[in-house]
Structure formats: structure tokens, C-alpha cells
Amino acid sequence: MELLISLIIGVLTATGVYLTLRARTFPVVVGLTLLAYAVNIFLFAMGRLTIGMPAVIDPTAAGYADPLPQALVLTAIVIAFGMTAFVIVLALKAKGELGNDHVDGLHRGKDEVVDQPRHKNKNREAAR
């Protein structure tokens, strides 16, 4: 079970990093969300994977699940939701301002015309 969970964490982390490094905003948002999922599963796995154990202490139960990782994951879910909402609003604002969804902001919209500086050919100038 631990091997499967560790593989899932690795795949989510690798995919999240790959998507975060893309040039468009939507893959960046999805990548950050996948990274948050990977961290949540990692925190949950750190509390030892137990099946069939109660989440609260019961005097008749032989053991119980550790509630701290569950509380951390619940808090991380709320933080990740807020972060995702903020990044989506930020991406929409950037698209409205720049006219495109490139992350670096160097690309212009289709309606903007950028004057390209003309480089003088020094060899032609010297030949004259």
C-alpha cells in the first residue's frame, strides 16, 4: 500500500512541476493544484496508513488513527482552495490586461502592434 501511495505522490509531483513550468496560465493553475494534492496525500501518508481504525479514541478499540495528519490535510485543502481561487482570479486579470494568457507577460495581444527596431547592416554602410 505504501509503495502505491508513494508512486501516486511521485506522479502527482512530477506532473504538477511539469505543468507549472508551462507558458500558459491554465496549465500553471492545474499544476499548482496537482502539487497541492501531492502534498495532501504526503501529509496523510505520514500519519501511517491504517485501515479499519477509528478516528477517535475509543476505550474498547485496540488502536486509533492519528488525528493530526487528518487535521493538517483538512487545513491544507482549505488553503489550496483559497490559493487556487486567487491564482485563477490573477490569471483572469492578467488575461484582461495583456490580452493573452502567457505567464511571462512578454507577448502582446493580437490587436497590439509593436514596432520592431530595425538593425542597420554595418557591412552595407561600410561598402558605400
Closest Cα partner for 39 from 88, 68, 74? 74
Output the pLDDT for position 113: 54
Q: Where are the domains of the chain?
A: 2-55+65-109
d(CA 82, CA 45): 23
Query: Are 13 and 31 spatial neighbours (Cβ–Cβ below 8 Å)?
Result: no
Cell match 483559497: residue?
82
By the 10 Å C-beta count (0-12 exposed, 13-18 middle, 19+ buried), 61 is classed as exposed
Q: Judging by beta carbons within 10 Å of its beta carbon (0-12, 13-18, 19+), is residue 40 exposed, middle or buried?
A: buried
- The domain made up of 2-55+65-109 is a member of CATH 1.10.287.3510: yes
pTM for the model stands at 0.70
Q: Using alpha carbons only, what angle is made at residue 31 by residues 25 and 33, rounded to the nearest 5 degrees?
A: 105
Q: What is the pLDDT of residue 18?
A: 97
Helix 67-98 × helix 25-46 angle, to 10°: 170
Tens-level pLDDT at each residue, the chain (128 residues): 788 999 999 999 999 999 999 988 899 999 999 999 999 999 888 877 767 666 666 667 666 667 788 888 899 999 999 999 999 999 899 888 888 888 776 666 566 555 555 666 656 555 55
CB atoms within 10 A of CB 48: 11
